[in-house]
Every structure is written in C-alpha cells, then in structure tokens.
C-alpha cells in the first residue's frame, strides 16, 4: 500500500503500476508537448500578452484571441490538441484544466 500524498493519477501510476517517477514523467511528456504546441499556435495570434490564459472549474481558457482570428488549419490542429472555440471570444480545454 502506498501512503504518499500525491495527485491521484501520479499515485496510481507509481504505486499501483510500480512505475518510477522518471517513467511517469515520460508517460506525461506527450501531454506537455501537446500543451506547448498549442501555446505556440496561440502565440502566433496573441503575441506577448500579460495574461493570455485563465483557469476556472477544470477548464483552461485562452482568452487572448477570438476563434474567428485563428486560421482554419490552426483551429483544426488546436482541436486535435484539446482546445475548442468557446463562444466567440476564447478557446477552452478540458484536457489542461486545473484538475
């Protein structure tokens, strides 16, 4: 039994599957790579703004650009990465929220 105080998914991966922290880091690498790729796409449209994101109720909002400003090709890629147009003023992701 593992009694460490860790996020649930980390606890499961390390304690239940006997996965080392280094192995768990590799497991999550694609998530970080996807987030970085999405942020690089947003940066093309947002530039260097002070507060480009906000997080509420496990939703990550990118509010420095409206969906209509983003090309169709980039919107498709953002969708594949987990970001979706939110109404007419932002993009949202449930994948990268504050869970």
pLDDT, tens only, 13-64? 444 455 566 665 555 668 889 999 999 999 999 988 899 999 988 899 999 9
| pLDDT of 6 | 43
* Greater model confidence, 76 or 48: 76
Please give the pLDDT value at position 22.
Answer: 65
Question: Domain for residue 3, yes or no?
Answer: no
Evaluate whether residue 98 is within a structural domain.
no
Q: Which domain holds residue 33?
A: 8-93
Say whether pLDDT at 5 is over 60.
no
How many structural domains does the chain have?
1
The residue ranking higher by pLDDT, 98 or 1, is 98
In a domain, 49, yes or no: yes
Question: Which pLDDT band holds residue 68 (cuts at 50, 70, 90)?
Answer: very high
Let me know if residue 1 belongs to a domain: no
63, part of any domain: yes
Whole-number Cα distances in Å, 26 to 20, 30, 56, 86? 10, 8, 27, 31
């Amino acid at each position: 039994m593992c009694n460490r105080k860790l996020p649930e998914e980390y606890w499961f991966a390390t304690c239940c599957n006997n996965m080392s922290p280094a192995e768990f880091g590799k497991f999550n690498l694609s998530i970080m790579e996807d987030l970085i790729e999405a942020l690089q796409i947003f940066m093309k449209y947002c530039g260097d703004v002070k507060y480009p994101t906000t997080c509420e109720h496990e939703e990550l909002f990118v509010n420095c650009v409206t969906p209509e400003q983003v090309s169709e090709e980039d919107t498709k890629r953002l969708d594949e990465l987990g970001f979706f147009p939110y109404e007419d003023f932002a993009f949202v992701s449930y994948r990268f929220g504050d869970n």
